[in-house]
Structure 1
């Protein structure tokens, strides 16, 4: 037993001598294996402490300060690198290493690394540039070198980008400095997507405008402001080329939104009978007479076999055309039935269709509710509505084709003063708040009529407190005209 104990002591003594024996000197300080291990452990602790402090700042302090995700990541990364550098410098000084004594060595080593590791140095400097200038941030949706995705992490050497397919791509930082970067999330995430569409020659451009605008407005991910636009791009070999412009605020969802819009456009085209043509070519036959003679020799058609019994065919005067429902009319035809728009040209109506859209309400459905904020202006294209006050339990009016409502809330900046409910199946032309100015500028007669109608509702305006003493000194019509001019510059 004593022999085993003695041997163990000898082993530990030899191991201790091995660990504590100085192997090299730096300056006036000698270093052994044990001191190097202790230095490495302390350096690891410095790194972990810096990482923990930066994570606490990112997830705690910066979140409470409501800093956006990209800025939080950049600030936390810079703090982590600074704390690590400061901690290592303090550690080296406490270990007795004279930093000035290794400055020359570090300089020579740096030159060697600079020539041998140019790309690594470039990525390092580029990473610092990205973290400080923040042209891109974590969470941004970007495009670089045909790579489309969301920035997941920015480190000193590289940036991780998650593509729309869910694949993480590691991109060297130098590519973000040397190449042109499209940052869809920079400052304002709103962006415009373009949907090219070709239709057959002979198709009514106004009908195409209505179909494309309707498809865009039905898609919930498309913004109403700015409103969708339709461009006539040109005349193709086999089609009239149009382009739908729709604004979204989720650029990372642009591809799914484009797919949804394409489905809706296909539905609208089928519903309206709009044809998307196939490419075609004209064939010219030089010897048409010889070809016709060849076909004539092949035989004649028996006309008697193609006769139809007279009893199966109604006389022309007995064939009455089936009346077309207003639901199947084009928006252009419905707008032409309204007094303010009946003299408009097709080009003016096309512009008007871009400002508003058609919406069908079944009978007994509430269009707008009393005390709700007003966001839209309505013109009745067919059907009728009733206006009543739920608060006063009072019937106000019945409005029919060609009349409008919803203007008071928009122009006066007040909640809805009454509830509007359809009496029958009703088609409304809806103009959102942001597009009403454009409609009133182009159609002065409608603006004048709105002012006239509002002036007839003085008591309602007084009850809402919208007619001030200064306003009462003027005639209501003059005051309302001035109000419209102030709001819309008309």
Structure 2
């Protein structure tokens, strides 16, 4: 039994001597195996503590400051690296290692790392550059070398990008410094996407424009301001080539929005009878008369006595073309029925269609409500509407084809002064606030008519006690003209 105790004591003594015997010397400090293990454990503890502290600062403090995600990630990363650096220095000082004695050693190691670990050092410097300059930040939607995705995290060596398919890609930081980067969400997430489309020769450009804009306005992901545009790109070999340009504020959803727009465009073209052509080739046949003569000669020999039985042939009468209802009329035809636009050319009408869109309101539907904010101007293309005040319980007016409403709220910057409701199925031409200026600039007579009508309607509302506005020394018409001039410069 005594020998077992003796052997165990010798083992512990050997291990103690192994861990306490100096292995090498740094400066005036001798390091043993035990002190090295202690330094490693302390370094791991410092790393974990700095990481936890930076995460706590990011989640508890930076969130309350209401910084964006990219800024929070960058600040937390820098704080974590600084805490880790200071912690390692404190650990070394606690172990009695003089940092000045590490200068030469660090220089030698630095030269070795510079030659042996060039990629690692370049990624390290690139990571610091990304954190401080912030050309990209966590949460940005970027494209680099054909890789499209959202930045999830930026570390010292690499950046994690999540693609549209949900795949996480680890990209070395040096690629973001040396290559061109498209940052779709840098400062302003709004961007414009292009939808190319070709139609058959013989299609009317104004109908194509109307169909493309109608498809764009049906897509909820497309912004109304800036308004969608249609460009006539060129004359192709077998098609007229157009391009629909729309603005979106979610670049991550550009592919689904393009797909939805393509579905809507196909549906609009089908409803309007606009053909999307196949590639076409013209074939020129020589000696056409000789071929035609032989064909007729062969056809005659196929029938007995060379006679054609006319009783077997039937003549189908031309189908009667039914007149279109107003709901199926093109927007061009509807606008031409309005006094302001009856003399417009097709090119002027095409431009006018870009400023607004038509909207069908069934009988009894409210177009706008009293006290709601005014954001649209309306021109009646077909049908009629009733204007009344719900608050005062008073009838104001009935408006018919060619008349307009909604200008009081837009021009005076006040809530809607009355409710407008359709008296029958009606088609309205709707112009948003941002496009009203373009419409009035190109149609000065409409601006004059608006000023005149607005003056009359204001006076009528005052007589009914609905509009209580102080009357200035100027006449209402002069004040309204000045208001239009100050708002739209016309």
**The TM-score by the shorter chain falls in which range?**
over 0.9
Shift of 1:385: 1.0
Q: Per-residue deviation at 1:34?
A: 1.3
Map 1:366-385 → 2, pairs under 5 A = 366-385=366-385
Change (3 A) 1:99 1:303: farther
Q: In the alignment, what sits opposite 2:34?
A: 34
CA distance in 2, matches of 1:267, 1:453: 39
Shift of 1:124: 0.9
Structure 1 residue 199, shift from structure 2 partner = 0.4
Residue in structure 1 matched with residue 461 of structure 2 by the alignment: 460
Q: 2:310 corresponds to which residue?
A: 304
**1:245 maps to which residue?**
245
Show the 5 A alignment for 1:158-173: 158-173=158-173
1:292 maps to 292
How far did residue 71 of structure 1 move?
0.7
Residues in 2 aligned to 1:106 and 1:6: alpha-carbon distance in whole angstroms: 46
Cα drift, residue 449 of structure 1? 0.8
Q: Deviations over 1:228-279 (max 9, x none)?
A: 0000001011100000000000001111111111110111110100001000
Matches within 5 A, 1:161-310: 161-300=161-300, 302=308, 304-308=310-314
Question: After the TM superposition, which of the residue ranges 148-157 and 17-26 deviates more from structure 2?
Answer: 17-26
CA contact under 8 A between 2:384 and 2:424: conserved in structure 1?
yes
- Counterpart CA distance in 2 for 1:373 and 1:70 is 35
| Residue 353 of structure 2: aligned partner | 353
The RMSD of aligned alpha carbons is: 1.7
For the Cα contact (< 8 Å) 1:388–1:396, is it kept in 2? yes
Aligned mates of 1:321, 1:330 — CA distance in 2: 17
Shift of residue 322, structure 1, vs aligned partner: 2.0
1:151-204 Cα deviation digits (max 9, x unpaired): 111111111111112111111111111111111000000000000000001100
Quote the offset at 1:409 in angstroms.
Answer: 0.7
Q: Aligned with 1:97: secondary structure? A: coil
Q: 1:298-344: per-residue Cα shift (whole Å, max 9, x none)?
A: 324835144438xx86xx9xx86422101111100000000001111
What is the 5 A alignment of 1:413-428? 413-428=413-428
Does the residue aligned with 1:380 lie in a helix, a strand or coil? strand
How big is the shift at 1:388? 1.1
Change beyond 3 A, Cα 1:42–1:36: same
After superposition, the C-alpha distances for 1:429-467 in whole angstroms (9 at most, x for unaligned) are: 000000001101111111111111111122526856674
- Which is further off, 221-230 or 1-10? 1-10
Task: Report if the CA contact (8 A) 2:387-2:396 is conserved.
Answer: yes
Distance 1:228 1:57, change over 3 A: same
TM-score (norm 1): 0.95
Which residues of 2 match residues 3-42 of structure 1 at below 5 A? 3-42=3-42
Shift of 1:2: 4.7
The equivalent of 1:87 in structure 2 is: 87
C-alpha distance after superposition, 1:48-91 (max 9, x if no partner): 11111111111111111110001111111111111111111121
| Structure-2 separation of matches of 1:369 and 1:21 | 89
Q: Secondary structure at the match of 2:364?
A: coil
Q: Is the 8 A contact 2:238 2:280 kept in 1?
A: yes
* Preserved contact between residue 222 and residue 248 of structure 1 (Cα < 8 Å): yes
Residue matched to 2:450: 450
Give, in angstroms, the shift of residue 23 of structure 1: 1.2
Corresponding residue for 1:441?
A: 441
Question: 2:417, 2:467 within 8 Å by CA — same for their partners in 1?
Answer: no
What residue in structure 2 maps to residue 390 of structure 1? Answer: 390
Query: Partner of 2:51: helix, strand, or coil?
Result: helix
Q: Contact (CA 8 Å) 1:412, 1:466: kept in 2 or not?
A: no
Show the 5 A alignment for 1:60-209.
60-209=60-209
Uncovered stretches (5+) of structure 1, i.e. residues with no partner:
none
C-alpha displacement at 1:360, in angstroms?
Answer: 0.7
Aligned to 1:299, what secondary structure does the other structure show? helix
Report the count of equivalent residues. 482
* Alpha-carbon offset, residue 297 of structure 1: 3.1
Contact 1:384-1:401 at 8 Å conserved across structures: yes
Q: Please, which runs of 5 or more residues in structure 2 have no aligned partner? A: none
TM-score, normalization by structure 2? 0.95
Three-state SS of the structure 2 residue aligned to 1:298 is helix
Please state whether the residue corresponding to 2:63 is helix, strand or coil: helix
CA gap 1:429/1:170 in 2 versus in 1, 3 angstroms: same
Q: Are the structure 2 counterparts of residues 361 and 336 from structure 1 closer, same or farther at C-alpha, using a change threshold of 3 Å? A: same
**In structure 1, C-alpha distance between the alignment counterparts of 2:320 and 2:185, rounded to whole Å:** 59
